[in-house]
């Protein structure tokens, strides 16, 4: 069989459910197995489990030479699901409480409809929080969330600002807004309960994809539906010795089928000489939620990216004579590194780099110089950092702007965010000492000072924030603000930077942001001591702390 070339993926290598079912990202631990190669076995840390916990013996032995050269399609079929399932559940029974996850509770088949719906809500919150976030990080957030929003009805009655405030620091803020939207839809259309089957849940509840729906419905409702997050993807790839492009449809179809066979306790595998089912072993009930959680637990704690090889010696398969039986999906397998050969590694896509100028605009009262307020603008409800507050920003500028360009950007921003005839320019750049005069009313720009750069990396963008402290002075009250925040569009290739345009999208009032602030629907003046109380992202907080050093240094110089 001719050797095929490995084709790189075009999308980002961070694991996400979007790669599986076109929805949000899910994983108890962020999966890095597709973008990094394992270290040598001598440098691997010993895998530890709870004392006395025996890891289930699932055959994941090094690949034989015969398997490297060719193998049948049946290599990627689970042939003894019943015995593996029992071994898996026996192991899970010894470790399921080890990590102290408050949302993980024993399945109780006697629960009524309302109690199962409550369990579904609890599992839903935990699953969304666990998307690309480690368990230890999620636990305190989950506890605070359930104390504030103990039921789906309580969540549905909240505002986006209340939800974002509770989510602050957890990242991927679109998850929080989708939880709110999902709760509101469940209350409005489903009598305050999440649908009790995975297909309906995936189709009708915002932010729930195939993985999340499978996890929630199997754990809370006992439905026999599979799960496939980053951990189970890696586990199944090794179990089935599948060496193919990790996110291709053909690969995912095989892995989903493997996960389905494991959770389907009535499955009989045809054509491989096995007819065993769950009914052959009555040692313990085989609940779908326990099976799925056991697979996730095994993948996240034992079958890690750089896991120690487990299993028994493999037997070389017989030479294949029928070309129709050959697997045409797998790429040529390299020299085996044990189970860590799987899944196939692909190069991680380099994050796009962008430069943003962040304008930390301060207004100072003419009659009360100690009264200081800062301009913040609510971001759109969709996209990056949806619904959070930010300082006015010129996005994705080309190169490093000089002082004149920085001043020009400030004036563009202020001309959009302040209402007409609010600004007169008496610009004084302390760095150069130059002054300029321009006829306007009420307030004037008195200071423009750049701060040090701030680097902030998202999953797909590496942002270089270039903050600048802008002070406008005059009048007894903060300047009136426009009801539409500025949106400075980036330049396209071969074109000059586009002029800023008013954002046509209007957003909800920030009624739960902070107290006693002058604001419009989208732009607000926030008192100095309350800036860090706003719902802002981590990168914005870094910008604020970096810029604050400028006036803190000025105070030190005056002393």
pLDDT of residue 228: 96
Residue that finishes a domain, picked among 318, 347, 376: 347
On whether both 148 and 286 belong to a single domain, the answer is: no
Query: Could you tell me if residue 67 is inside a domain?
Result: no
DSSP label at residue 356 = E
Distance from C-alpha of 353 to C-alpha of 419, rounded to nearest angstrom: 34
What tokens were used for 195? 């649908």
pLDDT of residue 307: 58
On whether both 150 and 78 belong to a single domain, the answer is: no
pLDDT of residue 4: 38
On whether both 388 and 464 belong to a single domain, the answer is: yes
On whether both 384 and 511 belong to a single domain, the answer is: yes
Query: Could you tell me if residue 519 is inside a domain?
Result: yes
Residue 91 belongs to domain with CATH number: 1.10.1670.10
Distance from C-alpha of 129 to C-alpha of 151, rounded to nearest angstrom: 16
Query: Could you tell me if residue 36 is inside a domain?
Result: no
pTM over 0.75: no
pLDDT of residue 443: 77
Query: Could you tell me if residue 56 is inside a domain?
Result: no
On whether both 92 and 120 belong to a single domain, the answer is: no
- What residue ranges of the chain have pLDDT lower than 50? 1-15, 18-49, 51, 60-69, 268-282, 309, 311-320, 421, 427-441, 485-520, 559
Residue that finishes a domain, picked among 293, 326, 347: 347
Q: CB under 8 Å to 543, separation ≥6 — which residues?
A: 358, 360, 391, 451, 454, 465, 467
pLDDT of residue 80: 83
pLDDT of residue 366: 78
Mind listing the pLDDT tens digit for each residue in 449-483?
A: 999 989 988 877 888 899 999 999 887 888 887 76
On whether both 360 and 341 belong to a single domain, the answer is: no
Residue 112 belongs to domain with CATH number: 1.10.340.30
Mind listing the pLDDT tens digit for each residue in 323-382?
A: 555 666 666 666 566 676 667 677 777 778 888 899 999 998 877 878 899 999 888 776
Residue that finishes a domain, picked among 160, 194, 221: 221
For residue 517, the SS3 value is coil
Domain count, the chain: 3
Tell me, rounded to whole angstroms, the distance of Cα 97 from its chain centroid. 25
Residue 446 belongs to domain with CATH number: 3.90.79.10
Nearest to 78 by CA among 290, 232, 300: 232
Query: Could you tell me if residue 69 is inside a domain?
Result: no
pLDDT of residue 412: 84
On whether both 228 and 214 belong to a single domain, the answer is: no
Query: Could you tell me if residue 14 is inside a domain?
Result: no
Catalytic: which of 67, 122, 127, 407? 127
Query: Could you tell me if residue 241 is inside a domain?
Result: yes
On whether both 342 and 431 belong to a single domain, the answer is: no
Q: CB under 8 Å to 192, separation ≥6 — which residues?
A: 117, 151, 152, 153, 156, 186
Whether 127 is catalytic: yes
- Report how far apart, in Å, the C-alpha atoms of 320 and of each of 72, 200, 351 are: 8, 44, 43
On whether both 238 and 325 belong to a single domain, the answer is: yes
H helix or E strand, kind and range, residue 393:
strand 393-394
Q: How many CB atoms lie within 10 A of CB 130?
A: 26
pLDDT of residue 335: 59
pLDDT of residue 468: 93
On whether both 276 and 215 belong to a single domain, the answer is: no
On whether both 468 and 360 belong to a single domain, the answer is: yes
Query: Could you tell me if residue 38 is inside a domain?
Result: no
On whether both 92 and 121 belong to a single domain, the answer is: no
pLDDT of residue 327: 64
Long-range CB pairs of 548-551, under 8 A, 24+ apart, other chains included: 549/451, 549/452, 550/449, 550/451, 550/469, 551/469
Residue 165: give the domain boundaries. Answer: 108-221
């Amino acid at each position: 069989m001719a050797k095929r070339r490995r084709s790189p993926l075009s999308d980002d290598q961070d694991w996400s459910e979007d790669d599986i079912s076109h929805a949000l990202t899910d994983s108890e631990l962020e999966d890095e197995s597709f973008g990094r190669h394992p270290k040598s076995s001598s440098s691997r840390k010993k895998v530890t489990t709870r004392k006395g916990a025996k890891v289930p013996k699932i055959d994941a032995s090094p690949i034989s030479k015969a398997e490297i050269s060719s193998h049948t399609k049946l290599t990627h079929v689970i042939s003894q699901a019943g015995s593996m399932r029992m071994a898996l559940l026996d192991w899970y029974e010894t470790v399921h409480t080890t990590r102290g996850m408050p949302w993980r509770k024993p399945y109780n088949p006697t629960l009524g409809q309302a109690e199962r719906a409550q369990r579904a809500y609890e599992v839903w919150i935990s699953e969304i929080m666990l998307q690309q976030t480690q368990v230890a990080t999620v636990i305190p957030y989950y506890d605070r969330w359930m104390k504030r929003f103990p039921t789906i009805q309580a969540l549905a009655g909240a505002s986006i600002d209340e939800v974002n405030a509770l989510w602050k620091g957890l990242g991927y803020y679109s998850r929080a807004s989708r939880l709110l939207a999902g709760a509101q839809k469940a209350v409005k259309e489903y009598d305050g309960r999440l649908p009790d089957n995975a297909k309906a849940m995936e189709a009708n509840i915002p932010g729930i994809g195939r993985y999340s729906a499978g996890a929630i419905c199997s754990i809370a409702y006992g439905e026999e539906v599979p799960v496939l997050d980053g951990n189970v993807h890696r586990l199944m790839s090794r179990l089935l010795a599948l060496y193919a492009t990790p996110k291709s449809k053909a690969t995912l179809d095989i892995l989903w089928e493997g996960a389905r066979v494991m959770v389907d306790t009535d499955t009989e595998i045809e054509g491989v000489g096995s007819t065993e089912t769950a009914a052959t072993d009555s040692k313990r009930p085989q609940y779908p939620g326990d099976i799925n959680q056991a697979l996730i637990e095994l993948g996240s704690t034992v079958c890690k990216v750089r896991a120690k090889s487990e299993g028994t010696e493999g037997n070389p398969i017989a030479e294949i004579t029928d070309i129709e039986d050959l697997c045409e999906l797998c790429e040529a397998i390299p020299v085996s590194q044990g189970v860590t050969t799987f899944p196939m590694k692909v190069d991680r896509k380099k994050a796009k780099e962008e430069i943003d100028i962040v304008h930390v605009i301060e207004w100072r009262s003419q009659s009360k110089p100690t009264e200081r307020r800062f301009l913040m603008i609510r971001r759109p409800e969709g996209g990056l950092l949806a619904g959070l507050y930010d300082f006015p920003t010129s996005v994705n500028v080309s190169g490093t702007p000089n002082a004149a360009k920085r001043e020009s950007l400030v004036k563009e921003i202020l001309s959009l965010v302040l209402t007409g005839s609010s600004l007169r320019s008496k610009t004084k750049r302390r760095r150069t000492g130059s002054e300029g005069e321009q006829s306007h009313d009420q307030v004037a720009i008195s200071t423009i000072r750049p701060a040090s750069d701030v680097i902030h990396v998202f999953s797909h963008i590496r942002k270089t924030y270039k903050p600048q402290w802008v002070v406008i002075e005059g009048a007894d009250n903060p300047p009136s603000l426009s009801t539409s925040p500025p949106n400075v569009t980036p330049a396209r290739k071969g074109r000059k930077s586009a002029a800023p345009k008013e954002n046509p999208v209007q957003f909800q009032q920030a009624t739960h942001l902070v107290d006693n602030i002058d604001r419009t629907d989208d732009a607000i003046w926030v008192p100095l001591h309350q800036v860090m109380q706003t719902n802002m992202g981590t990168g914005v907080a870094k910008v604020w702390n970096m810029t604050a050093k400028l006036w803190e240094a000025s105070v030190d110089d005056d002393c």
